[in-house]
Amino acid sequence: MGLLPQGFRFSQASLATAEVCARRFYLRYLARLRWPAAADPAGLAREKGAARGRVFHHLVLQHMLGLPVAAEVEVQQDPVLARWWRHFLQYPPPGVPRGRVFAEIELWVPLGPWRLRARFDQVVLDEYGGLCILDWKTGSPPPQGYLGSWQTRVYAFAGSEGGALFTGSGPVSPEQVSLCYWQAAHPAAVQWYRHGATAHAEVRAQIEALASRLADYGDREQFELTADHGPCRTCEFRAYCGRGEGVGPGWEEEGEEDEGDEGLAPPLEPWG
């Protein structure tokens, strides 16, 4: 019997982690190790950037709910956050359809013996039954790098499979699902992804193949360290694995989504 619990809830973050390093997947999602980042400049910058990103998302949600925001932006006394907010008001993503808007909504879809989780910043259901997913980015890289990511694959797939949450009737055709990335630091560099039936089938196969491989691992030693030391430079567990201290330079400022797998089973033992 494998170590992956029945009903494990995958997310774009856990799938991306497993693809890069099976050991990191084990430590974070099965052992659920909370290894404290060293208080080096990179670790502190990551924590500050993640906190700023959370505040920005909260401001957007307040704005969508019709609540006042300007005073809260001023109270933060953060010039970077203030600039992001000006960008949000002045440069909304073009091409977003009119329709019913859903904000900060979480979706779960079945995937064989597992579940797939997606948490959307905003979703617009247009008058033709199409689904437009918007994602606000607050990290440093321009949004072009997101188009081929696990987030794009998981969000588009989940939006189609779980479309009944928005339509109230049934799933949304893959051809009717689109995804827009808007980045606070680069508001003009909007990136669009258009889903489709072929891509949908490919994503399903990719997720099932990766999940099945993880499910086959019967002991923790099979969750091997990546042979490529490059990702270790920005891994919070690199000190634990003997591959450096602290978080390291280049860590993405925007924090990853919540794991979404708490409470399924007791944490497994990390390497000691």
- Angle of CA points 24, 257, 265, to nearest 5°: 60
**pLDDT, tens digit (0-9, with 9 covering 90-100), for 5-53:** 988 999 999 999 999 999 999 999 999 887 555 556 666 677 788 889 9
Using the structure block, give the residue that is written with the tokens 């790098």: 145
* DSSP 3-state of 164: helix
Per-residue pLDDT tens over the stretch 189-226: 899 999 999 999 999 999 999 999 999 999 888 999 99
Backbone angles phi, psi at 182, to 5 degrees: -125, 130
Higher pLDDT, 242 or 206: 206
| Per-residue pLDDT tens over the stretch 95-117 | 999 999 999 999 999 998 999 99
Segments making up each domain of the chain, as ranges: 52-220
Look up the pTM and report it: 0.89
Write the DSSP string, 91-141: -PPTTPPPEEEEEEEEEEEEETTEEEEEEEEEEEEETTS-EEEEEEE-SSS
